[in-house]
Structure 1
């Protein structure tokens, strides 16, 4: 039988979340043919990895997906899970991307002649350029020590948590206090569960300060426009844990010390597991102090901005701890404490094993400059701090996608010019 040529797409976009569809929006504007490959359904992570009470931690006005900025009646509120899903459904319909749902990209390989070969669950394709918009949160992290827990302990990752009623009766150990861990711990606490929380090194910030949402102050101060190259930590900021705060019930601080006053049990970093006995490092006091230092530091920066610009605002304040740990709990017997469930809230690992290109560092993270790699025609979009704080969020994805669309268009034009020259010769 004769060999059939592989279907060719000038640009292959891998991932059908907000990043991939944002990329499609600008490619369509530029008149560039492309295909978006999504192994499940578009926006599936928002439907499958968020708990029932999930809401945005940034105000609605920061939702600036291309062509569909937030147009609801509560710009200073925080959309709940179902509202977010409805917003994303409208975005998907508005973009009307050339979307291939249910098609998994299993391998991407550069071709010697230029461009890329894509092996997918629906057959092979060739592509002139590739945009990886699959995100950086593919593989849930669960420590190997968890294998030593007895089978009677239910274990779930944060992406699997839905609500307190879906868990077995009993107390719950939440491991990790980043945005997900802190909010899930609060959700269980408000539901009346006895919560034990292994506190990590996540910072925290105020929800409102001096009469406004802290996000609004930071936006005015230019923080969200700061490129990673101007950040004091440079690329190191990509490894930082997000500040914990919540938009629940109109928005409020998350204060772990106050939770402790109300009966939540706090511990340091989880160190090891031996049957039903869990041990912790003596890091609790330092973690709480450092989180409060960050909280007060952000507020102090806002104070300076207000003073420098002679802005009328309510008076400044400094957070004072409402609770101090009486000691550093070293161990916890799960059985004795009545703990029936552990929720792992320690994040995700990237998994780009399907991408056969020399663009990764020793930790498996892609090396790039604003999404552009050293591999000709290969780009990344939607990663945390790809360019700014908002790069992996609704607020900044459009700017990054537009930048990459211009690079893609310029490269396509150069390639077309070279082909025309060869034909003329």
Structure 2
């Protein structure tokens, strides 16, 4: 239980950090939010220009503040989400420091933590909410011959718009939503091939006239625990109104089995054939961006040791915004608020989970896909 007058430091001022700040205030704690960027909007301004949410506005709000105006069944665009997060931050009576990147968290012998930032600040904290997301840590695999390849190799985290790829031969690696969305956007401008290890799996965006997220909510599937999700979800799936599947069927997008190596000017496909390509975009996911916790010994090969977002290695340390942290929607606008209430309750001592979690495995980490 946190009884100190020292604040709870929330690392990250995006959707997870803001949800944590609101939950902390409701629990009677004093949150201080440290955001590396210039505004409390997380990584949203850095996503590609055409990005839209995969869930309608009516299902995409953080606790206490809804998306305002417009059709509630619309899919908010990137800049609308940025504006929403600015408004949400303004609704929270908490200290939010921008331009404050956390570089390290150290334990104190007397209890609690000392948080260091890149501008030289040291902040004593009674507890830590690690809500720094994963966008800053994109996973980029390394394949044979990659160093000798003369073309462009980048993660979709650094992709913005199709214009620079006009007339080029482009491979997009991945079978998830971002891979398909980027490949589809590029297709009218470039010759695009999707490289995947397995056939792409599609989920219908609308069922019986309603968005899939309506059914996830009414059936309770959005709240299925992580242990069940790990058994049910083995591969990435793409939400589709039919346009992406039709694009592949019509030949606008070509899908091939993942290539095995790079050459100086292209790639070698699984069947041994060589193809020259100008650029390769990897949509291969992200890993939690938690290096600042390394001094604590709280990580296992870079992954947090936790149960439901509550650290199994350190009292007063919790996580927020991890993929499948507690449910299918844990790292989304629509779901992070539930997890925020859960982990903040653990910090505030409103749950009896402290002794119980110390008896559980200290090697549990987010589901990897």
TM-score, with length taken from structure 2: 0.84
2:251 aligned residue (236, 255, 262) = 262
Q: Over alpha carbons, which structure has the higher Rg?
A: 1
CA distance change for structure 1 residues 149 and 261 in 2, over 3 Å: closer, same or farther? farther
1:370 equivalent in structure 2: 308
**1:100 corresponds to:** 97
- 2:51 is matched with which residue: 28, 33, 54? 54
Equivalence map 1:145-164=2 (5 Å):
145=143, 147-151=146-150, 153-164=151-162
1:331 — aligned with what? 273
2:262 alignment partner, SS class: strand
**280, 286, 302: which is aligned to 1:348?**
286
Cα shift at 1:75 = 1.5
1:37 paired residue among 26, 34, 37: 34
Gaps of 5+ in 2: 352-369
* Kept in 1: contact 2:50–2:78 (CA 8 A): yes
Q: 1:120 to 1:280 in 2, by over 3 A?
A: same
1:315-373 Cα deviation digits (max 9, x unpaired): xxxxxxxxxxxxxx543421xxxx32221211223342321233333x43212122111
Question: Partners in 2 of 1:187 and 1:97 — Cα distance?
Answer: 40
* Contact kept in structure 2, 1:129 and 1:378, CA below 8 Å: yes
Quick one: structure 1 residues 401 and 82, their matched pair in 2 at CA, closer, same or farther if it must change by over 3 Å? same
Does the CA contact (< 8 Å) of 1:11 and 1:128 recur in 2? yes
> Structure 1: 5+ residue runs without aligned partners?
1-7, 247-251, 282-328, 413-425
8 Å Cα contact 1:9/1:125 also seen in 2? no
Look up the SS of the partner of 1:66 in the other structure.
Answer: coil
Shift of the 51–136 alpha-carbon distance from structure 1 to 2, 3 Å rule, reads closer
1:265 offset after TM fit, Å? 2.5
Distance 1:87 1:115 in 2: 33
User: Which residue does the alignment assign to 1:116?
Assistant: 113
CA contact (8 A) 2:226 2:326 kept: yes
Alignment of 1:191-340 (within 5 A): 191-201=188-198, 203-229=201-227, 231=228, 233=230, 242-246=236-240, 252-253=241-242, 255-256=244-245, 258-281=247-270, 329-334=271-276, 339-340=277-278
Post-superposition Cα deviations, 1:232-282, rounded to whole Å, max 9, x if no partner, equal 536x96xx5542125xxxxx235446425334322112321122241233x
CA 1:192–1:119 in 2, change beyond 3 Å: closer, same or farther?
closer
Would you say the 8 A contact 2:166–2:189 is kept in 1?
no
Indicate how the Cα distance of structure 1 residues 211 and 369 shifts in structure 2: closer, same or farther if over 3 A, else same: same
Contact 2:36 2:99 in 1 (8 A): yes
Partner of 1:125: 123
Are the aligned partners of 2:59 and 2:213 in contact in 1 as well (CA < 8 Å)? no
Which of these residues, 163, 168, 177, is aligned with residue 165 of structure 1? 163
Whole-angstrom distance in 1 between the partners of 2:90 and 2:349:
28
CA distance in 1, matches of 2:65, 2:235: 29
1:402 to 341, 348, 361: 341
Measure, in 2, the Cα distance between the counterparts of 1:32 and 1:216.
34
Question: What TM-score do the two structures reach when normalised by structure 1?
Answer: 0.74
1: CA distance, partners of 2:42 / 2:309: 23
- Return closer, same or farther for 1:254/1:228 CA change in 2, 3 Å cut-off: farther
- Cα distance in 2 between the residues matched to 1:82 and 1:187: 18
Equivalent position SS for 2:116: strand
Tell whether 2:74 aligns with 1:77.
yes
User: Is the Cα contact below 8 Å between 2:149 and 2:263 reproduced in 1?
Assistant: no
RMSD (CA atoms)? 2.4
Q: CA deviation at 1:71?
A: 3.3
Alignment of 1:6-21 (within 5 A): 9-21=6-18
